[in-house]
Structure 1
Amino acid sequence: MTRTATPRHYLMCRPTYFEVSYEINPWMDTAIETDAAVAVRQWEALRDAYLAWGHTVEYIDPIPGLPDMVYAANGATVVDGLVYSAKFRHPERQPEGPAYQKWFADAGFVTHTAEQVNEGEGDMLVVGDVILAGTGFRTDRAAHRELAELSGREVVTLELVNPHFYHLDTALTVLDADPAHPLIAYHPEAFSPASQAVLAERYPDAIHVAASEAAHLGLNAVSDGLHVVVAPRATGFAEQLRERGFEPHPVDTTELLKGGGGAKCCTLEIRR
């Protein structure tokens, strides 16, 4: 089929204070040196790609002492203009939730303060009229119910079983969110057998991504329906995308990967 890009609206946070000063996922190692200047250059390349494709990018100011704030996707879930705040599991990240919620409130959005532990769009991905929701490491199942009641949308629970894929957006990416022909890509082994069965039934045409591709957070990708930002080392996944009519665009986020995030982690979609 012919792929078409649609305008997107993103919120991003410059990694001015990026460092790995604690360890809360398998990617983080405080013994490995980080370079905030390199992280900023990689982040700017990602942002510039969005702007070149005609997307709108807004910015939340980084806060000293919150190095993971660059992973904006974790800050909230925005569906139909309603903002469901993040409520982080780890104390190191908990101040991020209120910071992102304040940005949206100041921008005139209706915000809902989450009662249940969730890490925003890191574990909540919109596919057409459905929200796919991850659990197992960071987001509680109760948050799925809370979001369903709040949004009025069907929320489908998916259980993650590999700690390297601790957020849903590290194991699954939405390539086409159009309800008429939704398409996802995912790494099956990141999910429990029951969740694999759910995905196979709902998305029989999905792209299955190998462990060698997913290991570089190749699935932490961003699609506008045509252009797909991918990790440069995920060459096999890029070829799978070309076969389906997409245009893969490698963007290096290796410095940011030291904190456990890639392109999607740095990109919170604002759905009005």
Structure 2
Amino acid sequence: MSHQQIPRKRTFLMCSPEHFEVTYAINPWMDPAVSVDRTSAVHQWGRLRETLVGLGHTVHLLTPEAGLPDMVYAANGAFVVDGTVYGARFKHEQRTAEAQAHQAFYETHGWRYVAAAETNEGEGDFAYLPEAHGGLILAGYGFRTEPVAHAEAQEVLGRPVVSLRLVDPRFYHLDTALTVLDDRTISYFPGAFSHAAQRVLVQLFPDAVIADEVDAFAFGLNLVSDGRNVVLNSAATGLAAKLEAAGYTPVPVELTELRKGGGSVKCCVAELRH
């Protein structure tokens, strides 16, 4: 059933891919043998940023650092709820130093930053729905973020956390398989989750928009929504049609180069929730 969706102005953090390359493989999408066109990557990323600004949102920029090619995936550096920043602690050593860059940004800008003791990859594995069940955090585990980090996040952020087990390594972060469309609605691909997690999602979100395998593999769920406008990978045409039928406005963008690192729209965009 479609209904009128209300967009809400958001504040985001992004990081230019000017040092982006694929020289190692820490997820199934990365292949160092496949060449990356960095000029094209920067151009596509720029179009994504322009799209978000054009929709009325504020985009802050994190300074990219040489030797940290995955910094473009800014969503992984922290998880922010109500002005409190739960910092990331990356699983793979290739990304470890990114956490310090994010911490420096947040502390410089006056945010309350809490360093993590447990392994977690920020908004890659955490999603927030402020109006669902009184304010709910969905949290993924199985490949990157450790389940104990879910308890730590709950203590730091003071919001109930629902743990969801990811079972397909191609969906190594929650944000590749599940997305928040508005303050109480999600879209997800059931096949990425354990049977128990699927049952939990059906109970909590009976009206969710269900994505199929084709769009999930096209990184369609790795999207950014302001409650009405949904910025998503242009390859996910089926999901775009489902979202439109549900009352949202799909805004397709092309991110072919950044997909080579195992990410798309959402991976590139952290939300700063004051």
Task: Report the TM-score, using the length of structure 1 for normalisation.
Answer: 0.98
**Contact persistence 1:165–1:190 (CA under 8 A):** yes
Amino acid in structure 1 at the alignment position of 2:122:
G
- The equivalent residue for 2:174 is 168
Rounded Cα–Cα distance in structure 1 between residues aligned with 2:218 and 2:103: 30
- The equivalent residue for 1:30 is 32
- The equivalent residue for 1:158 is 164
Write out per-residue CA displacement over residues 98-128 of structure 1, whole angstroms, 9 at most, x where no aligned residue.
1101110011111001000000000000012
Write out per-residue CA displacement over residues 23-49 of structure 1, whole angstroms, 9 at most, x where no aligned residue.
000000000000111110010110001
Amino acid in structure 2 at the alignment position of 1:164:
R
Identity %: 51
The reply to whether residue 133 of structure 1 matches residue 135 of structure 2 is no
The runs of 5 or more residues in structure 2 that have no matched partner are none
Write out per-residue CA displacement over residues 138-183 of structure 1, whole angstroms, 9 at most, x where no aligned residue.
0000000001011110000000000000000000010011xxxx11
CA drift of 1:231 comes to 1.1
Task: Choose the corresponding residue for 2:152, options 146, 165, 169.
Answer: 146
- The equivalent residue for 1:42 is 44
Write out per-residue CA displacement over residues 202-261 of structure 1, whole angstroms, 9 at most, x where no aligned residue.
000001110011011110011001110111111110000010110001100110000000
Rounded Cα–Cα distance in structure 2 between residues aligned with 1:166 and 1:38: 25
Rounded Cα–Cα distance in structure 2 between residues aligned with 1:173 and 1:47: 19
SS at match of 2:85: strand
- The equivalent residue for 1:85 is 87
CA drift of 1:265 comes to 0.1
Rounded Cα–Cα distance in structure 1 between residues aligned with 2:4 and 2:16: 34
Task: Choose the corresponding residue for 1:3, options 2, 5, 20.
Answer: 5
CA drift of 1:67 comes to 0.4
Write out per-residue CA displacement over residues 39-67 of structure 1, whole angstroms, 9 at most, x where no aligned residue.
10010110001111110000010000000
**Contact persistence 1:85–1:98 (CA under 8 A):** no
RMSD: 0.5
Rounded Cα–Cα distance in structure 2 between residues aligned with 1:103 and 1:230: 26
Rounded Cα–Cα distance in structure 2 between residues aligned with 1:207 and 1:112: 33
Give matches, 1:161-200, under 5 Å. 161-177=167-183, 182-200=184-202
**Contact persistence 1:171–1:219 (CA under 8 A):** yes
**Contact persistence 1:5–1:227 (CA under 8 A):** yes
The runs of 5 or more residues in structure 1 that have no matched partner are none
SS at match of 2:106: helix
* Deviation >6 Å, runs of 4+: none
- The equivalent residue for 1:62 is 64
SS at match of 1:147: helix
Give matches, 1:234-249, under 5 Å. 234-249=236-251
Amino acid in structure 2 at the alignment position of 1:30:
P
SS at match of 2:102: helix
- The equivalent residue for 2:252 is 250
SS at match of 1:229: strand
- The equivalent residue for 2:97 is 95
- Paired residue total: 268
Task: Report the TM-score, using the length of structure 2 for normalisation.
Answer: 0.97
Amino acid in structure 2 at the alignment position of 1:209:
A
Most deviating of 5-14 and 226-235: 226-235
Rounded Cα–Cα distance in structure 1 between residues aligned with 2:138 and 2:179: 10
Rounded Cα–Cα distance in structure 1 between residues aligned with 2:53 and 2:219: 23
Amino acid in structure 2 at the alignment position of 1:146:
E
SS at match of 1:265: helix
Amino acid in structure 1 at the alignment position of 2:162:
V
SS at match of 2:9: coil
SS at match of 1:163: coil
